[in-house]
Structure 1
Amino acid sequence: MEILDWAVLAFTLIFIVVYGTYKTQGSKNAEDYIRGGNTSKWWTVGLSVMATQASAITFLSTTGQGFYSGMGFVQFYFGLPIAMVIICLVFIPIYHRLKVFTAYEYLETRFDLKTRSLAAILFLIQRSLAAGITIYAPAIILSAVLGWNLTVLNIIIGIVVIVYTVSGGTKAVSITQKQQMAVIFAGMAIAFYLILDKLPDAISFTDALSIAGAGEKMNLLDFSFDLNNRYTVWTGLLGGTFLMLSYFGTDQSQVQRYLSGKNVKEMQMGLLFNGALKIPMQFFILLVGVMVFVFYQFNNSPINFNPAATYAVENSIYKDEFESLNKQLQNNQENQKTAAFNYAKDPLLDIYSSDGIQKSYIETYAVKDKELRSVGKDLIARAAPEVENNDKDYVFIHFILNNLPHGLIGLLLAVILSAAMSSTASELNALGATTAVDLYKRNYKGVMTEDHYVKSTKGFTLMWGVLAIIVACTASLFENLIQLVNIIGSIFYGNILGIFLLSFFIKFVQSNAVFMAALVTQAIIIGLYACIHYETIPLSYLWLNVIGCGIVMFLAIVLEVSFGKKEKIV
């Protein structure tokens, strides 16, 4: 990075933080601080909801997902529009009528305090873990770029977000997210244009799509009923719908975004706006990753995109073996270039027969590429077990740093950091509000002023910000960061959603049955995920949302039918 990159990066981030802090000073009551005074228009609500979900992980991991696995991940979001419609029709009218500050307030109205507290605590556990990961993701980038200590970067990024989130509350988060989304949309559009511009002159966008298709990257829809397959139409429509219902309908980090809307109509339009735009946005981000794949059909790429991993193995006893592997990769990449050019000129020039089956050389060399990188990962694991050898989250940043002009490098880093700040700010804002409203204010017997509750909410927000930094400092890369966030959510979301669906639709079920069913269900889901993780059960983690929701509802109904008469209902 050069001075111009630092200037663009610094100006963009400082402007967002200063502007958000300046515009939202002086919240005098909890209504202003937690719900933003209910002044947000639908486009602010929609962009804020979208920015909360679109963390830095989205732009790092989704592009890496597109590079390695293609467009199939977009199926994960197929349930989103369905969830948005249900939330607009069921959740929002109830929340607005009761004038709740958090989603969990409603559960006390329907059930009792212990059920409300349990749902709030489950939210606090999963969201605090996710907040740490959203800080950790951009810290990885800057650590790779600058060579700075990862722990120091986690602390710096966390402090920056804490400053304006604690200062301005919900309104500060919503206002800054509009600027952040503008930066994100502009930056990703410029990156996409530059990727295509850097392809050989003879390769058009249509050619690029054809090459990606030959490399098995354009397989958008999978209608198979394989439960172990993470991304199919059915996991997206069923598991994805349940996940999105719980995330947008019961997760306070999202509920708080649309509760700031001016009225029910503005809230509903904001969510529908998000539902209409989210799938095209994710499709585009994946397509950026796929175009990076096409770019590297014509340009050499490293065995591993994590520079720390490469450095570690090159300074180990496995250096010669790694260099030999790198030469094999370069030879394979030369063959890739020839196959890609041939395919662009005439697809038949790139076709060969194998056991009577016609296949593309592009696909063959892509398979060889994958095999060589897998061997490279094994070498890295032996040379430096403490260094992360899974490099999906490094692909896009490697392309940015090595291929974009100066100035735009700073802008793209600002895109990723803006996404991290927007998502983390929403999470900390929701964590502080939930702790203050659902636990502290509800259980504290004294009578306090509005100013006291504003200050206590700020204090809890600061506390969760510090905890998120601690989580970030102790985190490590999973198979893929975006999958890790979704796994954490899936472990808790199905259970929470089931509690809310019971409260909305199963009127005869009361609090004791729901409370016991929720405790048992959470233990079952954690055990079930352990089985999935160790591959003793062939099941995708997305199905945990459906299973968790189904189990808690079934158990609550059975318990109520069996023992409900013993419960005194007021």
Structure 2
Amino acid sequence: MADQIEILDLIIFFGYMAGILLFGISFYFRKNKSPENYVTGGGKLPTWAIGMSIFATFVSSISFLALPGSAYLGNWNSFVFSLTIPIAAYIAIKLFIPLYRKINSVSAYYYLEVRFGSWARVYASICYLLTQLARMGSILYLLALPMNALLGWDIAWIIIITGICVIIYAALGGIEAVIWTDAIQGIILIAGAVICLLVILNQIPGGTTEAIKVAKAHDKLSLGSFQLDFTTSTFWVILVYGLVINLQNFGVDQNYIQRYMSAKNEKEAIQSTWFGSLLYIPVSLLFFMIGTALYVYYQSDLTILPQGLRTLDAADKIFPYFIVNGLPTGFTGLLIAAIFAAGMSTISTSLNSSSTIILTDHYKKYISKNPSMGASLRVLRISAVFMGLISIAVALAMTGVTSALDAWWALSSIFSGGVLGLFLLGYLAKNVKKIEALIGVIIGVLVISWMSLSAILLEGEMLEKFKNPLHANLTIVVGTLVIFLVGFLLSGIGRKKGETRKK
């Protein structure tokens, strides 16, 4: 019976994956091939599809696998991140979407060049590319976990093979393939998550009532400590982190800006943003419920788990194990396929956006200002391959982490470079000059470097007091604030000196 289940699941998995890959690649054979279609779909994509794509960009396999792992390991503290999304989305529709639609540039960082010069655009684009490498590496690693549980294949080889498949799909398909596959996978992921939760609760003695009782007794439903402590992962740390990172997502992340530009008009871009962002909140809650339900289920009888998964260090591998061993026949293959396809479409989004940035912010500016249509498409595809190969290396380096979610959050904090602070400085402080913004960025980078590296480089009792005392997630928050405040204060000082000279 076990062999039959495995064969059926494999047939469903490979059949489903083949269908999705062929669907994505089919966009390569469309008649109208142009760089514009490759990066924005010609601005003709429907509102609901773009909204589902924004939702799927939030979800990916990071949410599907890492959020249950986080809830299993601790509590619902990370759910506070989701609660900040409506605030960030509201600011986006009032501030960011009208701005990007007005300047009509597919690059998220063109505005920074207009405001502060070429250096600002280069800085922001490099930070973006580094962030995407961390993101793609995290997703590739998480995608390998369920396949490792299903087939026992080596995680490193799964990462390499999956990465190569995604590169082919992303380099050929363009943004239309990305958005349409995102839309399909978003629907399937929601259905799959609901099925998983119902199956888990059905297998817990006492059902939902008992699950809630045990979860409360073990403090698994807590949103974290409400103490004003910024050295650990309290409610306030995740709240501030979530607000800043989501503002950065909506405001300066190329993945989102390309979706704003893919909509037919500003109104549809706003509707897509609301739809995709608000849908993520209940779905992310669903993932935390799955993680908590798994904790209750397995803690009631740890012998159900293999010896290697009985410690909390294996939290990220618990849900993949349940998918393989706890779901009815056929659902395992379908759910793993959905996780894979969603992760692959999210990676392809990053590859598409990264290649767009390489073309618009680097190739066209410093190598060839007016490349032909064919040359532009070649650069886009070669760039996607290049970024994909590096992301495979990042994924291989992540195989030893305890929590992929924590690793991703820490890396995204570091690589963000406080770009949101620079953007807000340019938009809100109209009198800030280039040199003042540059000084702000230099000081901000130094602060980010100290916060990120002090724990590693400053060892010993003598240097202990010079280490960063704040939680790692606050790196992006402090970096953003430093860049904005330094630039703003220098601008004020410069104005006062100018007024003194006039008198």
Task: Identify whether the pair has TM-score above 0.5, normalized to the shorter chain.
Answer: yes
Deviation string, structure 1 residues 27-72 (Cα, Å, up to 9, x no partner): 5222111111111222212211121121212222211111221222
Map 1:37-116; keep pairs closer than 5 Å: 37-116=42-121
Deviation string, structure 1 residues 262-290 (Cα, Å, up to 9, x no partner): 11111111111123222211111000111
Secondary structure in 2 matching 1:101 = coil
Distance verdict in 2 for CA 1:4–1:267, change over 3 Å: same
Distance verdict in 2 for CA 1:220–1:555, change over 3 Å: closer
Deviation string, structure 1 residues 54-105 (Cα, Å, up to 9, x no partner): 1212222211111221222211222211111101110111100111111111
Letter of the structure 2 residue corresponding to residue 442 of structure 1: K
Structure 1 position 7 matched with structure 2 position 7? no
Q: C-alpha distance in 2, partners of 1:242/1:494?
A: 12
Secondary structure in 2 matching 1:483 = helix
- Partners of 1:56 and 1:134 within 8 A in 2: yes
- Partners of 1:240 and 1:542 within 8 A in 2: no
TM, length-normalised to structure 2: 0.90
Q: Higher mean Cα deviation, 81-90 or 65-74?
A: 65-74
Residue of structure 2 equivalent to 1:434? 357
Q: C-alpha distance in 2, partners of 1:262/1:292?
A: 43
Question: How far did 1:216 drift?
Answer: 1.3
Structure 1 position 300 matched with structure 2 position 329? no
Secondary structure in 1 matching 2:29 = coil
Q: C-alpha distance in 1, partners of 2:300/2:486?
A: 57
Structure 1 position 464 matched with structure 2 position 396? no
Q: C-alpha distance in 2, partners of 1:475/1:238?
A: 26
Letter of the structure 1 residue corresponding to residue 261 of structure 2: L
Larger Rg: 1
Given candidates 512, 523, 548, the residue that maps to 2:479 is: 548
Structure 1 position 505 matched with structure 2 position 428? yes
Residue of structure 1 equivalent to 2:501? none
Question: How far did 1:511 drift?
Answer: 2.0
Distance verdict in 2 for CA 1:213–1:207, change over 3 Å: same
Letter of the structure 2 residue corresponding to residue 47 of structure 1: M
Question: How far did 1:543 drift?
Answer: 2.1
Q: C-alpha distance in 1, partners of 2:14/2:224?
A: 41
TM, length-normalised to structure 1: 0.80
Map 1:176-187; keep pairs closer than 5 Å: 176-187=181-192
Distance verdict in 2 for CA 1:394–1:445, change over 3 Å: closer
- Partners of 1:243 and 1:494 within 8 A in 2: no
Residue of structure 2 equivalent to 1:136? 141
Letter of the structure 2 residue corresponding to residue 491 of structure 1: I
Q: Higher mean Cα deviation, 10-19 or 410-419?
A: 410-419
Letter of the structure 1 residue corresponding to residue 137 of structure 2: G
Secondary structure in 1 matching 2:418 = helix
Residue of structure 2 equivalent to 1:25? 29
Structure 1: state its 5+ residue gaps.
308-328, 330-372, 375-389
Q: C-alpha distance in 1, partners of 2:134/2:278?
A: 29
Map 1:123-202; keep pairs closer than 5 Å: 123-200=128-205
Secondary structure in 2 matching 1:476 = coil
Letter of the structure 1 residue corresponding to residue 321 of structure 2: H
- Partners of 1:532 and 1:540 within 8 A in 2: no
Deviation string, structure 1 residues 118-147 (Cα, Å, up to 9, x no partner): 111111122112212211221233234323
Secondary structure in 2 matching 1:498 = helix
- Partners of 2:81 and 2:243 within 8 A in 1: no
Question: How far did 1:561 drift?
Answer: 5.0
Aligned-residue Cα RMSD (Å) equals 2.3
- Partners of 1:112 and 1:511 within 8 A in 2: yes
- Partners of 1:183 and 1:414 within 8 A in 2: no
Given candidates 409, 413, 435, the residue that maps to 1:490 is: 413
Residue of structure 2 equivalent to 1:244? 246
- Partners of 2:42 and 2:262 within 8 A in 1: yes
Q: C-alpha distance in 1, partners of 2:91/2:344?
A: 29
- Partners of 2:363 and 2:369 within 8 A in 1: no
Question: How far did 1:507 drift?
Answer: 0.7
Secondary structure in 1 matching 2:416 = helix
Map 1:398-437; keep pairs closer than 5 Å: 398-437=321-360
Structure 1 position 391 matched with structure 2 position 314? yes
- Partners of 1:212 and 1:294 within 8 A in 2: yes
Q: Higher mean Cα deviation, 407-416 or 468-477?
A: 468-477
Residue of structure 2 equivalent to 1:286? 288
- Partners of 2:61 and 2:343 within 8 A in 1: yes
Secondary structure in 2 matching 1:296 = helix
- Partners of 1:532 and 1:541 within 8 A in 2: no
Q: C-alpha distance in 2, partners of 1:120/1:156?
A: 28
Q: C-alpha distance in 2, partners of 1:195/1:10?
A: 25
Residue of structure 2 equivalent to 1:480? 403
Distance verdict in 2 for CA 1:251–1:437, change over 3 Å: same
Residue of structure 2 equivalent to 1:119? 124
Question: How far did 1:421 drift?
Answer: 0.8
Percent identity of paired positions between Structure 1 and Structure 2: 30
Distance verdict in 2 for CA 1:537–1:192, change over 3 Å: same
Q: C-alpha distance in 1, partners of 2:296/2:106?
A: 48
Q: C-alpha distance in 2, partners of 1:74/1:183?
A: 22
- Partners of 1:305 and 1:395 within 8 A in 2: no
- Partners of 2:450 and 2:468 within 8 A in 1: no
Secondary structure in 2 matching 1:54 = helix
Secondary structure in 1 matching 2:153 = coil
Letter of the structure 1 residue corresponding to residue 282 of structure 2: P
Letter of the structure 1 residue corresponding to residue 485 of structure 2: F
Given candidates 223, 228, 234, the residue that maps to 2:231 is: 228
Structure 1 position 209 matched with structure 2 position 212? yes
